[in-house]
Amino acid sequence: MSTATGTATETQTAPTIAKVGQPAPDFNMPSTKNIDTLAENVKLSDYKGKWLILLFYPLDFTFVCPTELIHFSDRLDELNGIGAEVIGVSTDSVHSHRAWLRTPVDKNGIEGVKYPIASDVGGKLARQYNILVDEANIALRGLFIIDPEGILQYSVVHSLNIGRSVDETLRVLQGLQTGGLCAADWSPGQENLKV
Amino acid sequence: MLQVGDNAPDFELKSHLDKDRKVKLSDLRGKNVVIAFYPLDWTPV
């Protein structure tokens, strides 16, 4: 039973459109976490206490995407090493994701990618991040960092032609983790600004 | 809501560079334009 005290801690709810500084939109999507059964979903709540990188891309079996997905996978140990997890997301089905994950890299596949690829069929989550291209029902190249409390901390969106940078993602993530003020072009190891 | 891939909304704003002339996006057609928002003047970052 709830009572309206007005002094109780209010739980912040996620806004309809994702915004940096606000709780990230909740999700529960089919994924390739269990590539054999495809029965294991990924949920935002699974990542409480960790930094989460959501890596949206337009379509399975296309050209820029595999280089990005593979680069993030190649450097997953570095990301995991600082407490971050990655989920790839597109509007394709998990069956398509699985087929792509089972296609060798030299045949334009992403075999060996080590983090789960989730399926945002219908584009609900992509729309909440304002990256759904409606006519095509595909997501733009959006990358979002959610902190261990579930707050969206970083958002970058590229047009379809331009791949994202793992280096920049690591730099921003490490900057966020300092919890302090990072000057322009701050790089890991440098001090925070003092007020 | 504005999205990557859309036409950027035109604007005309005063700036410190030339107080008699406003800066207008459509005057910069043909160039790439970087717009960097920041929170507040006189703060540290």
Q: What is the reported pLDDT for A64?
A: 73
Q: Say whether pLDDT at A3 is over 70.
A: no
pLDDT at A11: 59
Is residue A182 part of the annotated active site? The answer reads no
pLDDT at A33 over 90: yes
Of residues A57, A22, A66, the one with CA closest to residue A131: A57
Average pLDDT, chain A: 91
> CB contact, 8 Å: A157 with chain B?
yes
What tokens does A139 get?
Answer: 């997501």
List chain B residues with CB under 8 Å of A195.
Answer: 44
* pLDDT the model gives residue A193: 86
Give the pLDDT score at A147.
97
Write down the pLDDT at residue B26.
Answer: 94
Decide if pLDDT at A1 tops 60: no
pLDDT (0 to 100) of residue A173: 96
Q: What is the ipTM of this complex?
A: 0.76
**Sign of the C-alpha dihedral computed for residues A69, A165, A80 and A56 taken in this order:** negative
pLDDT digits (tens, 9 = 90+) for A41-82: 999 999 999 999 999 999 999 877 778 999 999 999 999 999
pLDDT tens digits, A138-184: 999 999 999 999 999 999 999 888 889 999 999 999 999 999 888 88
A17, B1: Cβ pair inside 8 Å? yes
Alpha helices in chain A (DSSP H): 64-74, 76-81, 94-101, 124-128, 166-178
Indicate the pTM of the whole model. 0.88
Query: Is the predicted pLDDT of residue A91 greater than 70, yes or no?
Result: yes
Instruction: Give the 3-state secondary structure of residue A26.
Output: coil
Q: Which residues 17-46 of A have a C-beta within 8 angstroms of B?
A: 17
DSSP A75-126: THHHHHHTTEEEEEEESS-HHHHHHHHTS-GGGT--TT--S-EEE-TT-HHH
Q: Using the beta-carbon criterion (under 8 Å), do A181 and B5 form an inter-chain contact?
A: no
Per-residue confidence at A8, pLDDT binned at 50, 70, 90? very low
Q: Provide the pLDDT for residue A9.
A: 46
Question: Which pLDDT belongs to residue A50?
Answer: 97
pLDDT tens for chain B, residues 1 to 45? 899 999 999 999 988 887 788 999 999 999 999 999 998 887 777
At A7, is the secondary structure helix, strand, or coil? Answer: coil
pLDDT for the residue numbered A60: 95
pLDDT computed for residue B30 by the predictor? 95
